[in-house]
Amino acid sequence: MGIIQRQSIKFSLVNLVATLIGVVSIMYIYPKDDELYGYANMLVSMAYLLLPFASLGITGVVVRFFREFKDDANNRGFLSLVLFISLVSNLIFVLAFYLFKGQFYAFVDIFGNSQVLEQNETVILLIVILISLSSIFISFASNLKRIVIPSLIQTFSYKIYLPIIFLICYSGYISWKSFSYLIVIFYVITLLALVFYLKHLGGLKFGWYPEAFRKKWKEIARYLSYNSLTSLGSSLTFRLDSVMIPILIGYASNGLYNMVYFMANVINIPTNSVYQISNPIVSQSIENQDFAHIEEVYKKSSTNLFLVGSYLFVGMMVCLPDLFQLSVKPESFAGGMSIFLFLGLGKIVDMITGTNGAIIAYSAYYRYNLWFILLLGLSNIVLNYILITDYGVSGAAMATFISISIYNILKLFLIYFKFNMHPFSIATVKIGILFSIILIIASYLPSVDSHILNIVYKGGLITLLSTLGAYYLHISEEANNIIDNLISKKNNSPH
């Protein structure tokens, strides 16, 4: 088993455990105060929304140019260069924010209440800077084929930390303001932990080699400008809703949206692991002009992600209503299924199109992202405003689904016309038919009086049908190999 597969599996397992912890929090802790949970998510989402302006997409530069600087023990000062660029860009961002914040808040007032942001601007800016710096060390670790420990530091620990400080605040021991600064402290600890981990890997090497930078500064500058727009588009797609909901309709609605959004993110667990490992591979293949390998990665990522994503989507569509009823406050999830439907479909669209983002980002055609991002940003702002106003929280989910679909279709066509490749195959059709049938069957399954039994027997049947269908239809070579290995181990185990 290669390092990519090992790290992907470990990464997925870490995120699975983190998700299970998150589910417990979603079911039994956060419903105690929907507004407080909505407030916490607004802070982080707004930070991520502003992040592209502060970081200028520096993490993409780390992946794109890492191998070109990796010539000696100090990587020709690449880490020093990246940190210097990041610190300067963060400083310029903060100064610009305070110079033009009046105009910014006036713009926000067009859509809703800017006081939601104005009262928390210091906390939000601190989180922006800390995430910007942390992302650099995560990207360096990813280049060294290490993604598990950074996931433990950033994702897993937050799933434990947030419920603890939430309960402290809910119990009245601290104010909302103190709660927000405890979130800042978490990101300080995260940054320090990532620095020490990169040092442990032997990647914390500083130096200053201006001649190496002079050869690449124009290319790096161009890539930074376009990659920052890519990051902005991603933020507008995945974070804008969690900012516009509290501005337009309040923190409580944002709490409901983010609780369901968390559930939908379960579908994304395999996606994150595949992308973090495959992106450097795609970058290297483009550099080597190995388009056959790129197409292989493109199709395999699409097939495997669509397969796993469809299984998770169908399983959750069937089991979530019973899961919501097990919550400490089931009424907090009223309307949750319509939100999940659109968010889940958005995840499926993103998964079925495979590694399209990486192929464009690391190719000579990365400039096209400029136009795609501008269209995505404008459409998402307009869609969120119209649909949230008309349909409430479900409208935010609709806007996300539509924006993700448009964005991925544009990237799909660009890759097809420029590289003459697409991610689809006969396996794509098989997966679509298989899980449509499974969803129809599962929808007609009778329910019993116990919500737990409903989840177990319906989820179990969906798992069985999915496994048998995928195996005997030979949808994925990788999936069949995993099943064969499990069968072989079982047959060879001592009785």
Averaged pLDDT, 185-194: 92
Residue 310 CA to residue 297 CA, distance in Å, equals: 19
Q: Identify the CA nearest to 203 among candidates 82, 313, 329.
A: 82
> What SS3 class is residue 474?
coil
The confidence score (pLDDT) of residue 428 equals 93
The confidence score (pLDDT) of residue 210 equals 60
The confidence score (pLDDT) of residue 341 equals 95
The confidence score (pLDDT) of residue 6 equals 62
Averaged pLDDT, 25-53: 91
The confidence score (pLDDT) of residue 1 equals 45
Stronger pLDDT, 232 or 328, i.e. the higher one: 328
Asked whether residue 105 carries a pLDDT value surpassing 80, the answer given is yes
Stronger pLDDT, 404 or 273, i.e. the higher one: 404
Averaged pLDDT, 298-308: 90
Rounded to the nearest 5°, which phi and psi values hold at 72?
-145, -175
The helix-helix angle for 78-111 and 240-248 (nearest 10°) equals: 30
Asked whether residue 284 carries a pLDDT value surpassing 60, the answer given is yes
Averaged pLDDT, 244-260: 89
Q: In degrees, to the nearest 5, what angle opens at C-alpha 163 toward C-alphas 158 and 167?
A: 150
Question: What's the chain's average pLDDT?
Answer: 85
Q: Identify the CA nearest to 336 among candidates 354, 323, 352.
A: 323
* Chain center to CA of 94: 25
Confidence of residue 125 (pLDDT cuts 50, 70, 90): very high
Confidence of residue 432 (pLDDT cuts 50, 70, 90): very high
Q: Identify the CA nearest to 205 among candidates 323, 80, 305, 86.
A: 80
Averaged pLDDT, 289-317: 90
Averaged pLDDT, 113-119: 86
Averaged pLDDT, 117-133: 92
* Chain center to CA of 386: 25
Stronger pLDDT, 181 or 107, i.e. the higher one: 181
Averaged pLDDT, 291-299: 87
Residues 6+ apart with CB under 8 A from 143: 62, 63, 66, 280
Strand ranges, E, within 85-182: none
- Are 146 and 67 spatial neighbours (Cβ–Cβ below 8 Å)? no
Percent of the chain with pLDDT strictly greater than 90: 38
The residue written with tokens 């439907």 in the block is: 341
- Are 147 and 9 spatial neighbours (Cβ–Cβ below 8 Å)? no
Asked whether residue 4 carries a pLDDT value surpassing 70, the answer given is no
Averaged pLDDT, 41-60: 85
Averaged pLDDT, 355-360: 86
Looking at mean pLDDT, say which of 79-88, 321-330, 359-368, 478-487 comes out highest: 321-330
Residue 473 CA to residue 480 CA, distance in Å, equals: 10
Asked which of 48-52, 111-115, 274-278 is least confident by mean pLDDT, the reply is 274-278
